[in-house]
Chains A and B, each alone.
Chain A
């Protein structure tokens, strides 16, 4: 009997020792060698390789962003052994949600501005909005911009599927999660260089296009780099609109998109393109035509507050405080949308000459 007890005790000690060494060994295995431990599985090797040439090349380990819990690693092994290895390894929707918190660890300022704005809207705010849902039916295409990482159909997220409500987010754990997390517009595993301070504070060169800027297309389950996205030529009726060539806007256009016109004649159809202001488009017209979205808006939270002073102290023709004019900037209920406001909207009998003289440099076009 004593002998059996001894053997049992030794077995327990051996298992405990194995577990203890395993814990520290595992931690060491995955947190050292700059991702080499993860790349030991050949399915992961190319992904580790890309990170080493990305803006995150200086991140210490894969675990800075990714989960390597027991459950996760066992799941990976199960997939490997089953032979059902996906063509491309993607984060699941729950992983994307978890990663947003990991982004915050380093990108605290960006996280704070994003969190303070509408781009951090939660599933509850978007999909249980009675004002919207009582007029429009929810559909899977909503996820194209609101929840591009959500993997299921809308009926599994929100119930009931009607216009009477009341609506509830029924998928557990998602109600308070953001519909547009960092990975919606940023491609983390993308070749690029860590961001550095510009050599000059004011540059006349085109705005820099961050390597990571990309749109996550839910249908294709992959990112498309902002540099390769379309910048549509928009029209006001038949007139081509002058738009800023700022490539960053291509990302905005994926969701803040215009629609094709509904002209009354066949001839118009042949000459008209996507119309400014249709759909969710907010391309500037009138006094602001040619400005980039980013001239006024912060990308992370859309905030355009205090943006007027960037240009108007020098350039206002009216000599008036533009922030107090009758536009949607001062009053959201105004009939003059600040994106499209024109001088003639207020000066209906003709636009007077400027009261403020432009400086010689501006007049010379410098």
Chain B
């Protein structure tokens, strides 16, 4: 009974995924474009790239929660980025070779400075922020900086009954 009632209620409430794939706000196409931009901002080296570290997950979650005010900027910005990529590289940004992606993202920086600054800022937040928000997967940037997370912290074997010297 539970599931039937709930399933009906869920459908009535519009809970169906509506083709979003695994994303809360973005669609798959937007997510791929965003990943390509993020990876030009923080590319992979000895450590993962921004998207490998969860930048798109972070931005997507925030656009569905705390960053709702930036939704329109992302919709328009990603659409423009795709148009620019097709104009300069002839293919979708996510399918363009690395060199072309860099040129397209450089063009985005010049032609859409506000959008680029927003993505750059959010990419840094995702990469260096707390993993609990969806980015910095496995605390990769903190390990890159030499920080152990969680830290190894032993406790004092004190005896309260023996006073401060115990």
Interface residues of A (CB under 8 A from B): 19, 21-27, 29-30, 37, 39-43, 45-46, 49, 68-71, 73-74, 76-77, 80-81, 85, 87-88, 134-137, 141, 144, 163, 215, 217, 219-222, 224-225, 228-230, 232, 253-254, 257-259, 274, 278-281
Contacts and interface: CB of A to CB of B under 8 A. Distances in A.
B4 A77 contact: no
A136 B156 CA distance: 10
A25 B4 contact: yes
Interface stretch (B8-16, B36-44, B105-113, B120-128): B8-16
A316 B67 CA distance: 65
B131 A222 contact: yes
B10 to A, nearest CB: 6
A278 to B, nearest CB: 6
B139 A224 contact: yes
15 contacts: A26-B7, A27-B3, A29-B4, A42-B16, A45-B21, A70-B5, A74-B6, A85-B24, A85-B64, A144-B153, A217-B150, A224-B150, A230-B151, A232-B148, A278-B154
A259 B156 contact: yes
User: Is the interface on chain B under 10, 10 to 19, 20 to 34, or 35 or more residues?
Assistant: 35 or more
A257 B1 contact: no
Contacts of A85: 24, 64-65
A281 to B, nearest CB: 6
A88 B131 CA distance: 10
Nearest to A253: B152
Contacts of B131: 220, 222
B5 A26 contact: yes
A23 B153 CA distance: 50
Given A25-B3, A25-B7, A40 B17 contact: yes
